[in-house]
């Protein structure tokens, strides 16, 4: 009987706590109703404004930028790098105009990559590094080629330590069966040239063990003999 009374008392205490909590919440809302409603309205406005910006401004701007880059991409693919940068033809924007006029879009970001590779092929190595550095890589391929191209540019500028650093970045991410052994070979040869025989050995041995079917694997043994 005593146990039952204790159980009933505990239930009553819980009910009192729930009632008091509900009453406190109600009192708080009544006292701060305008603030709560105002805050909710601000949240709604912010969300609505963001969605409106994305749908009415950002997305159409992205589509225009992509359509404008069509001709520049065509010139880039046919190795007409100077035309791709500034005057692809038919009234389309060049890569540099797309970067300037559509900043913040995916098209402008991709244009930075194309511009960097274009400048590399035009032997304007400092410009190549500038644009490639500003490019936010997406996917395994461009994350390799971005740093590989920066390594090439630094190598041409005789900045060998920087070049080796970029080649190491190019081969440190997810592997690509064609690109990774290509830049491993460059890393090995440049490391050997700079007197880092251990670094060169690691690069060539990795080609042999991980990319035995790659064309670079054929020369790996020859290079290993050369550095021993």
203-212 tens-digit pLDDT: 999 999 999 9
Q: What tokens were used for 28? A: 């708080």
Query: Would you list the domain boundaries of the chain?
Result: 137-228
DSSP string, 73-138: HHHHHTT-HHHHHH--STTPPPHHHHHHHSTTSHHHHHHHHHHHHHHHHTT-HHHHHHHHHH----
User: Residue 41: is its pLDDT beyond 60?
Assistant: no
> What pLDDT does 139 receive?
74
Residues 85-103 have pLDDT tens digits of 999 999 999 999 999 999 8
Residues 164-187 have pLDDT tens digits of 999 999 999 899 999 999 999 999
> What pLDDT does 45 receive?
44
pTM, rounded to two decimals: 0.74
CATH number of 137-228: 1.25.40.10
Per-residue pLDDT band at 48 (split at 50, 70, 90): very low
Q: Buried b / exposed e across 154-192, counting CB within 10 Å, b at 16+? A: bbeeebeebbbbbbbbbbeeeebeebbbbbbbbbbbbbb
């Amino acid at each position: 009987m005593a146990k039952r009374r204790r159980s009933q008392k505990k239930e009553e205490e819980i009910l009192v706590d729930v009632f008091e909590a509900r009453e406190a919440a109600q009192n708080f809302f009544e006292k701060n109703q305008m603030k709560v409603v105002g805050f909710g309205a601000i949240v709604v406005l912010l969300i609505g404004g963001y969605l409106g910006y994305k749908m009415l401004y950002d997305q159409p701007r992205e589509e225009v930028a992509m359509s404008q880059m069509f001709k520049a991409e065509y010139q880039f693919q046919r190795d007409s790098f100077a035309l791709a940068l500034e005057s692809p033809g038919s009234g389309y924007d060049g890569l540099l105009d797309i970067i300037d006029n559509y900043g913040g879009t995916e098209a402008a970001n991709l244009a930075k990559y194309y511009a960097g590779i274009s400048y590399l092929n035009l032997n304007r190595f400092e410009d190549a590094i500038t644009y490639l550095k500003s490019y936010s890589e997406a996917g395994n391929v461009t994350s390799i080629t971005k740093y590989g191209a920066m390594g090439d540019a630094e190598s041409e500028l005789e900045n060998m330590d920087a070049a080796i650093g970029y080649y190491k970045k190019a081969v440190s991410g997810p592997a690509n069966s064609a690109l990774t052994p290509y830049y491993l070979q460059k890393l090995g040869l440049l490391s050997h040239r700079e007197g880092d025989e251990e670094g060169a050995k690691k690069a060539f041995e990795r080609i042999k063990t991980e990319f035995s079917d790659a064309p670079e694997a054929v020369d790996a043994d020859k290079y290993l003999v050369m550095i021993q």
